Amino acid sequence: MSRQLTYQAPGLRAWLGLLVVLGPVLLVSMDGSILFLAMPRISRALTPTADQALWILDVYGFAVGSLLIAFGNVGDRYGRLRLLMTGAAVFGAGSAAAAFAPGPELLIVARALMGVAGATLLPSGLAVLSELFPDPRLRARAIGVFAATFAAGFAIGPVAGGVLLERFWWGAVFLINLPVVGLFLVLAPFLLREVRAARAGRIDVPSVVSSAAGLLLAVYALKRAAAEGPEPVPLLLGAVGAALLAWFVLRQRSLPHPLIDLSLFRDRVFAVSVVTGLLPLAAWSATAYLAGVYLQSVLGLPVLDAALLALPGAAVLTVTCVVTPFVVDRIGKRAALVTCHLSIAGGLLLLLPASAAAGGAGWYVASTVVTGVGYGICFSVVADTAVGAVPPDRAGAAGAIAETSNEIGNALGIALLGSLAVVVFRLWGPDAAPTLEETLQLPALAPAVAAEARAAFVTGLHAVAVVAGSLHLALGLLALRLLPRPRAAGQRS
């Protein structure tokens, strides 16, 4: 006689608890993108150098991505609610410090602190859902809402930043975090309960240090090479960073409780899904940041107009993220992943007709609408695959894998593709200043020099679109070749 498990329907506490958890999730994802339209204003206020501007943008993503898996394990062992409460408090403190930072150096430090706190919020927030929703079907729906909220935060971040900057100074994009953090700290102890894994291994500190340090050193070397050309010290640091990352991967194979279970990547669907979590976010973050500068500093649009132009793409991304789980049930993950990469590739290539002349805004909107389909698929498929790949008692670490691929992709996009745009500007620009913003702020700037600088920036944007689009096209074709077909109609691969 088969034994069938029954679950009590979740009550009001569960649904209110879900809403409370979604607050920090929305903030963490929004803060990965909210500066894209704000950077021209921040550049005028704080005058950061070219590499400082890139660090302001992506140190947050690197801090989140480097520590997500580690904090997923910490929450599994010491308690997810305790980690959520601590992380929320630190996130609020970092937001306040960022809002009133007097210079670029302190803003970078504050953004890094926010990233460390954000790394505590995402995996523990996802894992707490297992206590709120013990029924697997309802838990899957809650995870879908979690993923949709995370995607929506990335999408609406630039829009929210643009609306705030229309009325307030640049620090307001950080102060909006404080009411949400305060509400969470008040309500979470009443609506959420402490959750720990039954058996959690110890945290391997060398793995945490080597992964974080390796990423930061490698990216620092790339940024310095892009801004200043190849120099001995940055190249040496880059080599050290690459060696640390290689050692980190080798170490995971021998640990009883690794930060990343490399055996999961033997599954081709899982492996392609995780890459799908990384590459689209790299393309999205880089093009969103560069497009923000393009709309304001090349086309001369007010920040609010630039924010409104981002709305159609944000709407498509959010809706796609919500409906993707239902579509995947019919067409399978293989078709979904291929569609993801091909739509992003096609959308990125729509940026190529954009120029320094009028009319470029239309091509930007068309690009965001087409790519929004792929980005929405990316968020949904990656979260579903990662969480479903491991036992429930490892939910914190598993959820961290999904979010890590997103956050590392977000940071790498600005670091690598953003550096490519810097190199192109340095080679094709008027050689008056390292960036477009610094060039346009020069006193007594000749109109011909300004036009040359704008044209060089657009060339850099085109180069990023071509490289990112080509990578997506290649990965889409690779997914088409490597991933298995569904074995039956309506069956997920």
DSSP code of residue 48: -
> CA angle at residue 84 from 79 to 88, to 5 degrees?
155
User: Average pLDDT for residues 344-373, to the nearest whole number?
Assistant: 88
User: Average pLDDT for residues 245-266, to the nearest whole number?
Assistant: 79
Query: Is the dihedral angle over the CA atoms 94, 100, 105, 106 positive or is it negative?
Result: negative
Q: Contact at 8 Å (CB) between 333 and 269? A: yes
User: Average pLDDT for residues 350-364, to the nearest whole number?
Assistant: 84
User: Average pLDDT for residues 240-248, to the nearest whole number?
Assistant: 89
* pLDDT value of position 343: 93
Q: Where are the alpha helices (DSSP H) in 168-204?
A: 172-175, 177-191
DSSP SS3 for 140: helix
* pLDDT value of position 4: 47
Is the pLDDT at 418 greater than 70? The verdict is yes
* pLDDT value of position 1: 42
Can you give the pTM of this predicted structure?
Answer: 0.73
| Highest mean pLDDT, choosing among 9-13, 31-35, 383-387, 390-394 | 31-35
How far apart are alpha carbons 319 and 15 in whole angstroms?
Answer: 21
Number of helices (H), then strands (E), belonging to the chain: the values are 18, 0
Q: Contact at 8 Å (CB) between 76 and 124? A: no
* pLDDT value of position 395: 53
pLDDT band at 260 (very low <50, low <70, confident <90, very high): confident
Q: Contact at 8 Å (CB) between 203 and 77? A: yes
pLDDT per residue as tens digits for the range 130-157: 677 766 667 667 776 777 777 777 777 7
* pLDDT value of position 2: 43
DSSP SS3 for 355: coil
Is the pLDDT at 377 greater than 80? The verdict is yes
Is the pLDDT at 314 greater than 90? The verdict is no
pLDDT band at 478 (very low <50, low <70, confident <90, very high): confident
Torsion of CA 396, 264, 320, 350, to 10 degrees: 120
Is the pLDDT at 470 greater than 80? The verdict is yes
User: Average pLDDT for residues 267-286, to the nearest whole number?
Assistant: 78
Torsion of CA 213, 217, 219, 225, to 10 degrees: 180
Q: Which residue has better confidence, 160 or 406?
A: 160
Q: What is the mean pLDDT of the chain?
A: 79
* pLDDT value of position 493: 45
pLDDT per residue as tens digits for the range 7-45: 555 667 778 888 888 888 888 778 777 777 778 788 888
Residue 5 neighbours by CB distance under 10 Å:
7
Is the pLDDT at 325 greater than 50? The verdict is yes
* pLDDT value of position 486: 62
Backbone angles phi and psi of 475, in degrees to 5: -70, -35
Q: Contact at 8 Å (CB) between 434 and 49? A: yes
pLDDT per residue as tens digits for the range 62-115: 777 677 767 766 766 667 778 888 888 999 999 999 999 988 899 999 999 998
pLDDT per residue as tens digits for the range 426-450: 888 787 777 787 788 778 778 888 8
What does the radius of gyration of the chain's CA atoms come to, in whole angstroms? 22
Is the pLDDT at 238 greater than 60? The verdict is yes
How far apart are alpha carbons 115 and 65 in whole angstroms?
Answer: 8
pLDDT band at 491 (very low <50, low <70, confident <90, very high): very low
